[in-house]
Structure 1
Amino acid sequence: MTQEHEASENPAGDELLTVGTASSLIGVSVRTLHHWDHIGLVSPSGRTSTGYRQYSADDVARIHRVLVYRELGFSLTEVGEILDDPSVNESAHLERQRELLAERIDHLQQMVCAVDQMMEAQAMNKKLTPQEQSEIFGQDWNPEYQREAEERWGDTDQWEQSQQRAAKMSQEDWQRIKAEGDQLNQDLAQAARNGVEPGSERANQLAERHRESIAQFYDCTHSMQVCLATMYTQDPRFTEYYDKLEPGLADWLYRAVAENARVHGVDPDNAAWE
C-alpha cells in the first residue's frame, strides 16, 4: 500500500487521512478535494514527506459543512465566506444549517404533496396514448382493439373496473404486464407443443395464470374466462394470434380453460358473463 492510501498520525496524536482515504470515507471525489484545496476552501492540515495531502478530523468536519451548504444551494464562494466568518462559531454554524435544512425539508414536503395531488388527478383520467401503447406492446398493437372492446363491454362493471385499474398503472407496470404476458404465452405454446393434456395439473396451472393475468384489470371469474376463451376460437383475429405462437393453440387454450373451470364448478357449455 502506498502512502497515498495510508492513514498516519500527526505529532499531537490525531489520525490524519490521505486524500484517497478521506475521499472514500466522505464520498467526495479526490479531484473535488484537490480543487477545494486549490481555492482555499478546505486545505488539509498536513502533508506527507512526499507531498501527499493529509486530512485531520477538523478538516473532515469542515468538508461535511461544505457539503451541507452546497446541498442548500450556496456557491463555493459563499460557503467559504460563511465558514471563514470570525463572528460565527461552530455551534452557530450547526444551528444555522439545521434551520436551513428544516426549511428545505418543509419545501420538499410541499413539493411531494403537490406531486401526489398531480398523480391522483392523473390516475383518475389518464389513458395510455396510442403512441405509448405502441411503445409498450410493440407493432402488433392496434388502437382499434380498445375502441372495439369498449363497444362490446363498455356498459359492464368489469369495463369500469378495468379502466380504473389501468388509469393507476405506470409505464413500468405496463412493461411488467407485457413481459409477464409474453412469458405466459411462451409457456402456453410450449405446453400445447409438448402435448400437455387439458384438465391435467399442468394445464390447470396455466389456465389459472391466464385468468390471473386478466384479473389484474378486473375480477375475472372462471365463467368469464370461459367466455373469453370461447371468443379466442370464434374470432379469427384471436385464433390467428394464438395459432401464430403454436398451431392449434387457441383451441388448446379454450379446452384448458374449460376443463379448469369445470374443476371450479362451472359448466363450460353454459358459461355466462357472471
Structure 2
Amino acid sequence: MLRKVSEVAELTGVSVRTLHHYDRIGLLSPEHVTEAGYRQYSEQELERLQQILFFRELGFRLKHIGEILESPDFDRLEALELQREALLEKRARLDRMIRTLENTIQDVKGEIELTDKEKFEGFDFSNNPYEDEARKRWGNEAVDRSNQALANMRPEGQKWLGEQMEALFRKLAAMRHQDPATEEVQRAIGEWYAFLNGMGYAYSPEAFKGLGQLYVQDERFTRNMDQFGDGFARFMAAAMGIRADRLQA
C-alpha cells in the first residue's frame, strides 16, 4: 500500500515540509513519484522513517543517521534493541532530574533542606558530547585510537594530560587580543597541534582547521572555549586555520 505524503504526515506527526526536506537530502525518498509530482511512500519507507525518528529522539544528527542507515552492517532489530536501552536510560535519567527538581522546589519553599550533592542528582556529563561530531568529521579510526590510548593510560597520566591542555588554553587565551598570524601565537598554536597529535588523534592540517571551525560553529564548543575568555573560540579558529594553511603550503 502506497501512502501520499500528506497521509504519512498525518500518520506520523512529521510535517510535509520535513518529509520534503528528508527527500531533498536523500535521507528518506518515496517509493514512487507520480507524473503529477506526488510523493508516495511504501511500508519500507515508513519503517525507515521510524528509525530516523528514534535516532533523532536520541540526539543524532541527520547526516549521521543517513550514514548509519546506509551502512551495509546496519541491522534493524539490533538498532531497535539498542534504541530501547538508550531511551530507557534517558527516561530513568529524566525521572531522577524531575525528582531533583521537585525536591529543589521544596527546598526553596523551606519545606526540606537538600545537601549540595542532592541538588545535582540526575545530571550526567560522563559521556563525551563531541565524540559523535568527531566521528562524523574524521572517521572512527582516529577517535578509536585516541580513546584506546587514553583508556590504557593510568589515572595520573590522564590527570597530567588534562592539566597540560588547560595550561595551553590559558597560554593561548592570554594572547587572544593579538593578531592570530603573529609568530608568537603561531608557535603556541603549533604546541596545541603537537599536543593533539601526541594524544593519538593523528590530525591532518585539514582536520586541525576543521576542528578550529567547529569551535565557532558548535555552540557547545564555543561556550566551553569562551570560559577561558570572551572571543577565545573565534581566536582559536582563526589561529588554527592559519597554522593549517601554512602546514599545507
TM-score normalised to structure 2 length: 0.46
